[in-house]
Structure 1
Amino acid sequence: MKQIPQILYLLLFLSCPFFAFSQIGSAETQVNVLIGQVISIEVTQPSVNIDMGLSAHYINGSSSGQQTNHIKVTSNNGYEINVRATTEYFSLNGNMTTLPVNTIMIATSLGDDLTGSGSAAPASLQINSPVPLSTSNTNIVSSGEGESARGFHVTYSIPASQTSNYLNKEPGTYTTNVIYTVVPQ
């Protein structure tokens, strides 16, 4: 007779998981991903020099040399990069001169994937290079696809065909500001 209560206890113990499972319910949640327009641009070298201090510069032209990853862009969709000067002529010591900024050529080339993953550039990426500096927005890059972080190399140059504009000028540092803008495509 003692075996019957023990068997009942054993059956009760074995049926406990069934009772526990009957107490399980479920619930759900909705996960929302909010995608906004992400677009930014950065110029990594705030000042760039082109030397015109040698006679060879007036014969052959001169350049800043390649400014590595000079422009850094992030855009989650297609984008365009434009460049323009703030004034039509260079300034010297804060005074406007007659030296036109369109004597400068801007050559852009593909830079590095700055995410560190080594991603290739989108197939839709187009680089318009070289272009003369102007006070009008001039397109230098367009891409139908976004990228997390892409660099572009830039070289500023005075071609030999423009060096005569630099003759008979007062020595000094001639300046203009160059503005790069990135806009959604």
Structure 2
Amino acid sequence: MKTSKIIRNLFLLLLCPIAVIAQSIGSAQTQVNVTIAQVQSIQISQPTVSISMAKPSHFLLGNDSGQQSNHIKVSSSTAYEVTVKASAEYFSHNGNTTSLPVNTIAVKTATGNLTNSNALPPAGLQVASQIMLSTQPTTIIKSPSGEWGRGFHVDYAIPETKSPSYLNREAGAYNTTIMYTLIPQ
């Protein structure tokens, strides 16, 4: 009898719904903060560029350095502008300042590649196709948005109209320093 009572009670327990009450053991939370800083970087991939004036045609028609692929590399988390300027008004030769002006050099700029990507440049990107070098900063690139690792091709040229400035000069290397400046917008 005792066994049948146990079986009957077990059977009733199986037929009755069992209410399970979950008890919360505890909870915790955290806040995640993301701090965004303006980050800008500019690099020049070819630190020395040369223009040869070694042929009669160079003195008549001018010459250039050839395109320096992705010569300027810009990374900016925001809109930006790039300016270019020469450090002095005249070239140096053998450590001495000459009368050969730096404004005889044209800086020709074109949009290059984005690092590890074939992504198109941002809409509204402005690139000055050619400016004459000066000691005053001149804007050559203006971007309405940031990008990470955009290259710009540059060709340094002596235009035909400026090539006579190179006549009647002592042979040798004439140099100047050109500075590119990245300005966040």
Normalised by the size of structure 2, how large is the TM-score? 0.90
Kindly provide the amino acid, as one letter, of the partner of residue 63 in structure 1.
Answer: D
C-alpha separation between the residues in 1 aligned to 2:85 and 2:42? Answer: 14
Distance 1:25 1:118 in 2: 50
Aligned counterparts of 1:39 and 1:76: Cα–Cα separation in 2: 7
Question: Deviations 1:58-108 (Å, cap 9, x if unpaired)?
Answer: 111100000000000000110000000000000001100000000000000
2:60 and 2:164 in contact (8 A); partners too: no
1:130 and 2:130 are equivalent in the alignment: yes
Partner of 1:140: 140
8 A Cα contact 2:106 2:133, kept in partner: yes
In the alignment, the residues of structure 1 paired with residue 39 and residue 106 of structure 2 have an alpha-carbon distance, to the nearest angstrom, of: 30
- Structure 2 partner of 1:163: 163
Q: Give the Å deviation of 1:132.
A: 0.4
Instruction: Please name the residue that 2:83 is paired with.
Output: 82
Partner of 1:98: 99
Tell me what 2:183 maps to. 183
Over the aligned positions, Cα root-mean-square deviation in angstroms equals 2.0
| Counterparts of 1:168 and 1:180, CA distance in 2 | 31
User: Displacement, 1:124?
Assistant: 1.5
Greater Rg by CA: 2
Structure 2 unmatched runs, 5+ = none
Q: 1:1-185 residue pairs with structure 2 within 5 A?
A: 1=2, 3=6, 7=10, 18=20, 21-114=22-115, 116-185=116-185
TM-score (norm 1): 0.90
CA distance in 2, matches of 1:167, 1:61: 11
Separation (CA, whole Å) in 2 of partners of 1:63 and 1:69: 17
**How far apart, in 2, do the equivalents of 1:15 and 1:172 lie?**
99
Letter of the 2:91 counterpart: F
- Unaligned segments of structure 1, at least 5 residues: none
1:7–1:107 CA distance, 2 compared to 1 (3 A): same
SS in 2 for 1:59: helix
Q: 1:90 to 1:30 in 2, by over 3 A?
A: same
Offset of residue 26 of structure 1: 2.4
Identity of aligned residues (%): 49
**Within 2, Cα distance between the matches of 1:48 and 1:117?**
26
> Separation in 2 of the partners of 1:38 and 1:15?
61
1:72, 1:91 → 2: CA distance? Answer: 27
Partners of 1:120 and 1:106 lie apart in 2 by 23
SS at match of 1:164: helix
Runs of 4+ in 1 over 2 A off after TM superposition: 1-4, 23-26
